[in-house]
């Protein structure tokens, strides 16, 4: 049998069903008596609802019920909760306006749900939803953060002055000001982090059920079913947890957008209770565009103070962050603790000060999207470092090396709260430059020039933070939830194992990776281990999958649960082999008496545990099943170096990514093939953000990129062959040494791509180009600036 433990590229066992079209998604679920919900959404960015006449809709064929916000309010249902509270500079809490499940009084973005029609068929529900007569009074809207924060801007929430959700800061302003005063160079950069629409392949869906005894089940496209149970049960519908089960079956991608508690989940669950019939809603793609939380959307100004030799003295950043029309579940944490705390990056910049203003606009709520805050930090920093190199004349690789936190300086306390536990940036940089043949680039550039192409190379040496933790620190920073993870390990009587995890797989391959981990540690064959996730009825508890936390936090919980299994197994083994517990060792799936050839396999121990005839019953309970809640001591800090090479057609401005190398330090790797796939997928999204994707709104808030006809997703032919390497240092504070790999690709790549584009255009006097670097933007630069060399 091939090796299938830690470090083996075992093929993903879940792919069999996915490739055969046998995945089981929410929309595949159908229940007897099921009815369908259609949501009437706002087609305008900002308007007062003067009246809703639902009489024609209610009378339409097949219609069972029509509900509006007033009906929900009559049942005592308030708004959707926000899971993170940020405090302003002056200590006061952020503005937290009501986020109604169905709009009441006003609509605030295109796609804002206004009413739901429930009918026997989907078509009847949709037909009737069109019959709702809504009398609107249009209000001026605002989509752009700069415009929304300008004096006199339309107010998204009448009670939120200036549309400011919060005005927050971090770092030592005095120290930063002092460092700037003595700096040799001050390098400034304005930049935008473009707004993205996640577009998971599977649209969101929700199926609510309520049985005769008032037990509710919600099947939903979620990355974290227990969190949904907590938020929806406790804060929205007031259903106690023992009467509410959340199932998140196969989920076709999330990228963050399926973390949040959405209105539709509450609507179908509530309606199922009122109607006592299963109620299903499945988003159409155009609904996804206007109702799934969007990502990023920052406007920033950054300044670096640099000394004579090129050492960074201080960094000063001010950022406007778009919250959209309402606060999505974790939105406030993204531009603060997941962004500004990462502004040290891999550099030993001694003083950093960042201020962030979060702004409401008439757009879809913005929340975490693959990388969440860290891509914004990495893009700002890695672009700024390149501009520093350009303006000081110091080579960009040398400049980075000069400012790296040296490997022997770990653990390293940054000036923006985080303490990095491990890393070696020189190592990942050196490996990436080698793999990309950085030294050979000038020859490739010259060769491309002969073909009339502009070739550029860009690097990014980034760092990020995963597995946000520990809970008490997150709590102090405003989190309204814990950030541990839970594992339950059940060794069955004959020695096979079921692992129940609070993490959730929606593309990550957990069923394989976690089985490898547990099989390896318990010394049982891979095919003897099954992984169960995504059901609050089966799994004790969990916080779900986001922030690349599943292995570092969820896997560590499994290790802790296995430690308990092994400890108990040792006591059983000691009894069976008449030895003392201290003399029992567990190795390769067997309990041995040290120094003898006496041994019992795990299966023998488990059998004794479940058939306790010869068993230390006075001291030990029967059974072999353990649960662990693991609360990490710190974040983990993956990092690495990405190198991107592009070729630009100067006549059209089209950029082609011709080579991409990612060398990442993700800590211990369980399955290298899965890590490679995660990094490649992340890089594809990063190239998408850098060159192709951009949500477009008009000034008022009308969504201009509301379909794939106008929103450019990356496709296979936009992508080069992506070379992935890992060079690891171990996480020092979790039992696995793993850091996380789900987001590194999307975090490290956008600045590498833009640095390459700017490098390709260096003869045209360009300092910066905002994402997405579309052909027209690039052509405009080329058309407006004759090459410097030609002018000389």
Residue 252: which residues within 8 A CB-CB, separation 6 or more?
23, 25, 200, 201, 202, 221, 506, 507
- Identity of the residue, 127 or 303, whose beta carbon is nearer to another protein in the bound complex: 127
The H or E element spanning position 318 is strand 312-324
- Identity of the residue, 71 or 647, whose beta carbon is nearer to another protein in the bound complex: 647
- E strands present in 506-598: 529-533, 584-587, 590-593
| Minimum distance from residue 774 beta carbon to another protein (Å) | 7
| Minimum distance from residue 65 beta carbon to another protein (Å) | 22
- Identity of the residue, 281 or 337, whose beta carbon is nearer to another protein in the bound complex: 281
- Judged by DSSP in three states, 359 sits in strand
Cis peptide before 411 (omega within 30 of 0): yes
- Taking alpha carbons only, the member of 62, 82, 73, 167 closest to residue 122 is 62
- Identity of the residue, 176 or 782, whose beta carbon is nearer to another protein in the bound complex: 782
C-alpha distance from residue 229 to each of 196, 260, 537, 541 (Å) = 28, 11, 11, 10
Tracing tokens 């804060």 back to the chain, one arrives at 235
- Identity of the residue, 13 or 126, whose beta carbon is nearer to another protein in the bound complex: 126
The answer to whether the beta carbons of residues 47 and 137 sit under 8 Å apart is yes
Q: What is the dihedral of CA 537, 543, 544, 548, to 10 degrees?
A: -160
- Identity of the residue, 678 or 774, whose beta carbon is nearer to another protein in the bound complex: 774
The span from the CA of 30 to the CA of 767, in Å, is 56
| Minimum distance from residue 21 beta carbon to another protein (Å) | 17
| Minimum distance from residue 44 beta carbon to another protein (Å) | 18
The span from the CA of 609 to the CA of 472, in Å, is 37
| Minimum distance from residue 189 beta carbon to another protein (Å) | 25
| Minimum distance from residue 710 beta carbon to another protein (Å) | 5
- Identity of the residue, 477 or 696, whose beta carbon is nearer to another protein in the bound complex: 696
Binding positions for another protein, rule: CB under 8 A: 123, 126-127, 130, 286, 651-652, 692, 696, 704-705, 708-713, 774-776, 779-780, 783
- Identity of the residue, 707 or 721, whose beta carbon is nearer to another protein in the bound complex: 707
- Judged by DSSP in three states, 239 sits in coil
- Judged by DSSP in three states, 559 sits in helix
| Minimum distance from residue 696 beta carbon to another protein (Å) | 5
C-alpha distance from residue 364 to each of 96, 247, 296, 337 (Å) = 16, 26, 12, 22
DSSP character string of 504-525: --SSS-HHHHHHHHHHHHHT--
Exposure string for 715-736, b = 16+ CB within 10 A, e = fewer: eeebebebbbbbbbbbbebbbb
| Minimum distance from residue 653 beta carbon to another protein (Å) | 8
The span from the CA of 326 to the CA of 601, in Å, is 56
- Identity of the residue, 130 or 447, whose beta carbon is nearer to another protein in the bound complex: 130
- Identity of the residue, 124 or 501, whose beta carbon is nearer to another protein in the bound complex: 124
- Identity of the residue, 496 or 712, whose beta carbon is nearer to another protein in the bound complex: 712
| Minimum distance from residue 599 beta carbon to another protein (Å) | 59
- Identity of the residue, 123 or 611, whose beta carbon is nearer to another protein in the bound complex: 123
| Minimum distance from residue 721 beta carbon to another protein (Å) | 21
- Edge-to-edge, what's the strand order for the sheet holding 47-53? 106-107, 47-53, 133-138
Exposure string for 553-586, b = 16+ CB within 10 A, e = fewer: bbbbbbbbbbeebbebbbbbbbbbbebeeebbeb
The span from the CA of 53 to the CA of 49, in Å, is 11
| Minimum distance from residue 205 beta carbon to another protein (Å) | 17
The span from the CA of 332 to the CA of 317, in Å, is 18
- Identity of the residue, 155 or 696, whose beta carbon is nearer to another protein in the bound complex: 696
Residue 156: phi and psi, rounded to 5, are -70, -45
Pairing mode of beta strands 639-649, 625-630: unpaired
| Minimum distance from residue 81 beta carbon to another protein (Å) | 34
- Taking alpha carbons only, the member of 778, 471, 481, 461 closest to residue 644 is 461
| Minimum distance from residue 656 beta carbon to another protein (Å) | 13
Tracing tokens 């180009």 back to the chain, one arrives at 769
CA atoms within 13 A on the CB side of 618: 1
- Identity of the residue, 551 or 690, whose beta carbon is nearer to another protein in the bound complex: 690
- Taking alpha carbons only, the member of 590, 564, 587 closest to residue 577 is 590
The span from the CA of 261 to the CA of 243, in Å, is 18
| Minimum distance from residue 192 beta carbon to another protein (Å) | 15
The answer to whether the beta carbons of residues 294 and 366 sit under 8 Å apart is yes
DSSP character string of 251-269: ----TTTTTS--HHHHHHH
| Minimum distance from residue 324 beta carbon to another protein (Å) | 19
Biggest alpha carbon–alpha carbon distance for the chain: 93
Measured from the Cβ of residue 332, the count of other Cβ atoms closer than 10 Å reads 28
- Identity of the residue, 70 or 713, whose beta carbon is nearer to another protein in the bound complex: 713
| Minimum distance from residue 442 beta carbon to another protein (Å) | 28
- Judged by DSSP in three states, 697 sits in strand
Pairing mode of beta strands 654-665, 312-324: unpaired
- Identity of the residue, 328 or 774, whose beta carbon is nearer to another protein in the bound complex: 774
- Identity of the residue, 229 or 453, whose beta carbon is nearer to another protein in the bound complex: 453
- Identity of the residue, 88 or 286, whose beta carbon is nearer to another protein in the bound complex: 286
The span from the CA of 89 to the CA of 112, in Å, is 31
| Minimum distance from residue 123 beta carbon to another protein (Å) | 7
| Minimum distance from residue 36 beta carbon to another protein (Å) | 15
């Amino acid at each position: 049998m091939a090796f299938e433990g830690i470090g083996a590229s075992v093929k993903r066992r879940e792919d069999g069903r996915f490739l055969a079209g046998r995945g089981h998604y929410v929309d595949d679920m159908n229940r007897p008596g099921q009815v369908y919900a259609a949501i009437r959404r706002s087609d305008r960015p900002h308007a007062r609802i003067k009246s809703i006449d639902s009489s024609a809709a209610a009378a339409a064929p097949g219609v069972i019920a029509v509900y509006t916000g007033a009906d929900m309010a009559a049942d005592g249902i308030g708004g959707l909760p926000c899971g993170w509270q940020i405090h302003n500079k002056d200590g006061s809490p952020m503005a937290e306006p009501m986020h109604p499940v169905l709009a009441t009084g006003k609509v605030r973005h295109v796609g804002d749900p206004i009413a739901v029609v429930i009918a026997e068929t989907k078509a009847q529900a949709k037909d009737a939803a069109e019959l709702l007569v809504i009398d609107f009074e249009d209000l001026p809207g605002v989509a752009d953060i700069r415009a929304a924060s300008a004096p006199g801007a339309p107010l998204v929430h009448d009670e939120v002055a200036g549309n400011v959700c919060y005005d927050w800061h971090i770092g030592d302003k005095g120290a930063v000001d002092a460092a700037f005063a003595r700096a040799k160079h001050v390098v400034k950069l304005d930049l935008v982090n473009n707004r993205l629409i996640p577009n998971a392949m599977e649209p969101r869906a929700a199926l609510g059920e309520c049985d005769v005894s008032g037990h509710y089940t919600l099947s939903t496209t979620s990355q974290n079913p227990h969190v949904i149970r907590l938020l929806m049960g406790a804060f929205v519908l007031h259903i106690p947890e023992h009467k509410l089960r959340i199932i998140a079956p196969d989920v076709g991608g999330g990228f963050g957008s399926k973390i949040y508690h959405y209105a539709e989940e509450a609507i179908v669950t509530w309606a199922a209770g009122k109607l006592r019939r299963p109620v299903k809603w499945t988003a159409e793609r155009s609904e996804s565009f206007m109702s799934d939380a969007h990502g990023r959307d920052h406007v920033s100004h950054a300044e670096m103070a640099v000394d004579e030799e090129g050492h960074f003295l201080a960094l000063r950043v001010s950022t406007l962050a778009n919250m959209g029309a309402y606060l999505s579940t974790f939105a406030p944490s993204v531009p603060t603790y997941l962004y500004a705390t990462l502004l040290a990056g891999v550099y030993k910049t001694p003083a950093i000060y960042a201020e962030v203003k979060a702004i409401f606009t008439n757009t879809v709520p913005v929340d975490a999207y693959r990388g969440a805050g860290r891509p914004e930090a990495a893009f700002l920093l890695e672009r700024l470092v390149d501009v520093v190199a350009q303006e000081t004349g110091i080579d960009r690789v040398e400049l980075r090396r000069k400012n790296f936190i040296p490997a022997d300086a770990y653990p390293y306390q940054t000036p923006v709260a985080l303490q990095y536990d491990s890393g070696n940036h020189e190592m990942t940089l050196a490996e990436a430059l080698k793999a990309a043949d950085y030294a050979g680039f000038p020859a490739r550039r010259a060769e491309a020039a002969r073909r009339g192409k502009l070739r550029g190379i860009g690097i990014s040496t980034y760092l990020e933070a995963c597995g946000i933790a520990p809970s008490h620190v997150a709590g102090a920073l405003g989190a309204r939830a814990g950030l541990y993870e839970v594992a339950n390990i059940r060794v069955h009587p004959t020695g096979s194992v079921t692992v129940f995890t609070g993490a959730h797989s929606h593309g990550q391959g957990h069923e394989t990776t976690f089985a490898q981990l547990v099989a390896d540690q318990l010394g049982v064959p891979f095919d003897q281990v099954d992984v169960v996730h995504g059901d609050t009825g089966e799994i004790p508890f969990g916080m779900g999958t986001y922030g690349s936390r599943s292995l570092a936090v969820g896997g560590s919980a499994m290790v802790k649960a296995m430690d308990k299994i092994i400890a108990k197994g040792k006591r059983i083994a000691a009894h069976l082999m008449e030895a003392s517990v201290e003399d029992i060792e567990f190795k390769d799936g067997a309990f041995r008496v040290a120094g003898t050839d006496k041994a019992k396999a795990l299966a023998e121990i488990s059998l004794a545990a479940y058939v306790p005839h010869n068993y230390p019953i006075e001291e030990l309970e029967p059974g072999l099943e353990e649960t662990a809640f693991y609360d990490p001591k710190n974040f983990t800090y993956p990092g690495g170096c990405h190198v991107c090479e592009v070729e630009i057609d100067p006549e059209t401005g089209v950029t082609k990514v011709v080579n991409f190398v990612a060398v990442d330090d993700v800590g211990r790797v369980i399955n290298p093939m899965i890590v490679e796939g995660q990094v490649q997928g992340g890089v594809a999204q990063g190239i998408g953000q850098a060159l192709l994707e951009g949500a477009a709104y008009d000034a008022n808030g009308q969504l201009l990129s509301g379909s794939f006809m106008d929103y450019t997703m990356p496709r296979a032919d936009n992508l080069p062959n992506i070379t992935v390497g890992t060079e690891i240092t171990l996480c020092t504070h979790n039992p696995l040494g793993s850091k996380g790999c789900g987001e590194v690709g999307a975090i490290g790549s956008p600045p590498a791509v833009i640095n390459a584009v700017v490098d390709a255009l260096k003869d045209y006097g360009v300092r910066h180009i905002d994402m997405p670097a579309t052909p027209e933007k690039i052509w405009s630069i080329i058309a407006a600036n004759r090459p410097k060399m030609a002018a000389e």
